[in-house]
Chain A
């Protein structure tokens, strides 16, 4: 059980890293892109770049706001 837990922790840390927000937004943007392309016939090439920029901004905002709150 401990080994499974360690493997899960290692995999999570390797893929997701310090902040899950980036991974969640990118996965969601890719899923919505695939739905738009395959179900609605929209060539949504713009969605993932926007999602990536938003993911980075959200993650940075969270990281810097957190530090601000901890110091206050």
Chain B
């Protein structure tokens, strides 16, 4: 019953992170050098795949109760972090994540950096920038994929969703050759925050020994409850006023 919402959550979470990684890769590739940028990106993807391959089987060795307790706690904490940022941005208390601005900052830094080559890499700055961008943005997705997969008994739906998201973002990025500034990143962050918080709460409480009323059907209540609570916080903060920047979508201002 949980496979479709889990798969969609992984897909949307991965799209958000891939859009941010794409901004960095484009800045490195267009201002420095594409070959080194692709090398950095490829090495980062290999490292992420190795972490997934190592973590996935390792997690299956942990008893399910303990795994759900630890994974549930972490997912709920991640979910609250995503929701917190999305709500602060939706109410103008935090600046929007501006892909166009982030791109210009990366371009300025890339243009002023020295060029060093060696060990098969023509430009180490482009390699490192692209490697770090893809690795750091990808780590959270790897964690979500591995934990969702281990709790569901199969990692493949989550892996396919993550791969599909990367392909979609990469395809659009190649087509437009510009950062994807029009993606409704904040609304997507908000949705992922609600789903991570719901699944984290469900699994964490189960790991602590709770029996949910209605078993898996409890998730059908948790998701709308957290959604309504989060939207309620958005409305409360908007009514309280004092925003410092332009509010983002979730509830259109």
Minimum distance in angstroms from A50 CB to a CB of chain B: 10
Rounded to whole angstroms, the CA-CA distance of A59 and B88 in the bound complex is 10
Contact B212 A56 (CB under 8 A): no
Q: Is the Cβ of B84 less than 8 Å from the Cβ of A60?
A: yes
Select one of A33, A38, A47, A56 contacting B84, CB under 8 A.
Answer: A56
In whole Å, how far is B80's beta carbon from the nearest beta carbon of chain A?
A: 4
CB proximity of A29 to chain B, nearest CB, Å = 9
Q: Is the CB of B204 within 8 A of A30?
A: yes
* Residue of B74, B197, B205, B229 most packed against chain A (CB within 10 A): B205
Q: Once the chains bind, are A48 and B230 in contact (CB under 8 Å)?
A: no
Query: Is residue B2 within 8 Å, beta carbon to beta carbon, of the partner chain?
Result: no
B93 at the interface (CB under 8 A from A): yes
Q: CB within 8 Å of A: which of B183-216? A: 197, 201, 204-205, 207-213
The answer on a CB contact under 8 Å between A14 and B208 is no
Shortest CB-to-CB span from A66 to chain B, Å, is: 10
CB distance from A55 to the nearest CB of B (A): 6
Q: In the complex, which residues of chain A have a beta carbon less than 8 angstroms from the beta carbon of B140?
A: 14
Interface residues of A in 31-57 (CB under 8 A from B): 33-34, 37-38, 43-45, 47-49, 52-53, 55-57
Taking the nearest CB of chain A, how far is it from the CB of B115, in angstroms?
A: 26
Q: When A33-B208, A43-B211, A57-B233 are in contact, do A16 and B77 touch as well, CB less than 8 Å?
A: yes
B interface: dominant SS: helix
Which of B96-104, B117-125, B218-226 lies on the face that meets chain A? B218-226
Q: How many residues of A sit at the interface, in one of the four size bands?
A: 20 to 34
CA distance A44 to B91 in the complex (A): 33
Alpha-carbon distance between A22 and B212 when the two chains are bound, in angstroms:
23
- Give chain A residues whose Cβ lies under 8 Å from the Cβ of B25: none
Across the interface, do A56 and B73 meet the contact criterion of CB distance under 8 Å?
no
B79 contacts across to A, CB distance below 8 A: 52
Residues of A within 8 A of B88 (CB): 60, 63-64
Q: Give the nearest-CB partner of B212 in chain A.
A: A45
Of the stretches B11-19, B151-159, B236-244, the one at the interface is B236-244
Q: Are B222 and A49 in contact (CB under 8 A)?
A: yes
CA distance A56 to B88 in the complex (A): 11
CB contacts (< 8 Å) of B218 on chain A: these are 45
Whether the Cβ atoms of B244 and A45 lie closer than 8 Å is no
Q: List residues of chain A with CB under 8 Å of any chain B CB.
A: 14-19, 22-23, 26-27, 30, 33-34, 37-38, 43-45, 47-49, 52-53, 55-57, 59-60, 63-64, 67-68, 71
The 3 closest A-B pairs by CB, nearest first: A37-B209, A22-B80, A34-B208
